[in-house]
């Protein structure tokens, strides 16, 4: 009897631990881990585009920008066309290869954030990030 009680106690403890861990991974949970989305800058086919041009993220997520073709590129957020503060988001240094991360703060205002690539804005190299509420 004592053995069974001990076993049940251990089983219940393990079950609670598993449920707590799973609960943290459920969408909409406040303890969900931040995700990283990748956007390519320029296409391998030589197009001056962000690919995908529009993505949706959650507050606290990171967007990784990667040069895929036709450099240099940068990412400049348009404060007049963004839902929240963009002062920490722009990456104005021209990037020839590799990539960089743009981290949206956990308290980023929900809504649309428009940005462009400075050298290629005139060619239509623009993008939009929607931060979910």
Q: Are strands 126-131 and 73-82 parallel, antiparallel or unpaired?
A: unpaired
Nearer to Cu ion, 58 or 70 (CB): 70
Catalytic annotation on 64? no
Distance from C-alpha of 66 to C-alpha of 13, rounded to nearest angstrom: 44
Nearer to Cu ion, 26 or 93 (CB): 93
Point out the residue whose Cβ comes nearest to Cu ion: 117
CB atoms within 10 A of CB 117: 27
Is the separation of the CB atoms in 91 and 100 below 8 Å? Answer: yes
Chain residues in the site for Cu ion (CB under 5 A): 73, 117, 120, 125
Is the separation of the CB atoms in 73 and 117 below 8 Å? Answer: yes
**In the complex, least distance from residue 121 CB atom to Cu ion, rounded to whole angstroms:** 8
**In the complex, least distance from residue 94 CB atom to Cu ion, rounded to whole angstroms:** 9
Q: Which residues are catalytic?
A: 73, 117, 120, 125
């Amino acid at each position: 009897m004592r053995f069974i009680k001990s076993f049940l106690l251990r089983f219940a403890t393990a079950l609670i631990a598993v449920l707590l861990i799973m609960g943290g991974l459920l969408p909409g949970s406040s303890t969900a881990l931040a995700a990283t989305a990748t956007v390519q800058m320029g296409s391998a086919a030589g197009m001056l585009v962000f690919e995908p041009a529009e993505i949706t993220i959650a507050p606290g997520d990171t967007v990784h920008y990667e040069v895929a073709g036709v450099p240099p590129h940068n990412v400049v957020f348009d404060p007049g066309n963004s839902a929240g503060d963009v002062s920490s988001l722009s990456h104005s240094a021209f990037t020839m290869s590799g990539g960089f991360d743009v981290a949206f703060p956990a308290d980023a205002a929900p809504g649309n954030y428009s940005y462009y690539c400075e050298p290629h804005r005139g060619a239509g190299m623009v993008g939009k990030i929607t931060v979910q509420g």
